[in-house]
Structure 1
């Protein structure tokens, strides 16, 4: 179905750049974005076991700073068990 919408120039520019970065069409980007919006609005809140899970599906990590990593204050289990994350040292 065809439709026409008016978008601010800056948003359309960002959308085009993102579509190019992801090697998809602008149409595919809009469809995926709308599907994600509808899915997140209707699904129950997800309980995340790891702080970085909230970053899943948010796109490229190229624009993230170290403070965006989700590890700030994290004290859960470490995926690499030979190196502890915020775990007390064993004597």
Structure 2
């Protein structure tokens, strides 16, 4: 499949130079990088995280940031 992507000029130049140095193509570097990133994200699994809310209507305002983190991760109260 052919597609067009917009890369920052400095990143594109760095990638082209790296491809030339490794005697490969920019296409092959993109394929390898995308596969590695997709594999990495798949291996992470779902994030078990939820913000404490007031009856499902937004964050509990009486909590300070440390309490939000503690409750979100199910940690014991400090």
Q: TM-score normalised by the shorter chain: which range applies? A: 0.5 to 0.7
Structure 1 segments (4+ residues) deviating >2 Å: none
Provide TM-score, normalisation by structure 2.
Answer: 0.53
Q: Structure with the greater relative contact order (CA < 8 A, sep ≥ 6): 1 or 2? A: 2
Return 5+ residue gaps in structure 1 as ranges: 46-91
Q: Over aligned residue pairs, what C-alpha RMSD do you find?
A: 1.5
Alignment of 1:9-28 (within 5 A): 9-28=9-28
Provide TM-score, normalisation by structure 1.
Answer: 0.46
Bigger fraction of residues in helix? 2
Count of equivalent residues:
45
Return 5+ residue gaps in structure 2 as ranges: 46-78
Name the counterpart of 1:82: none
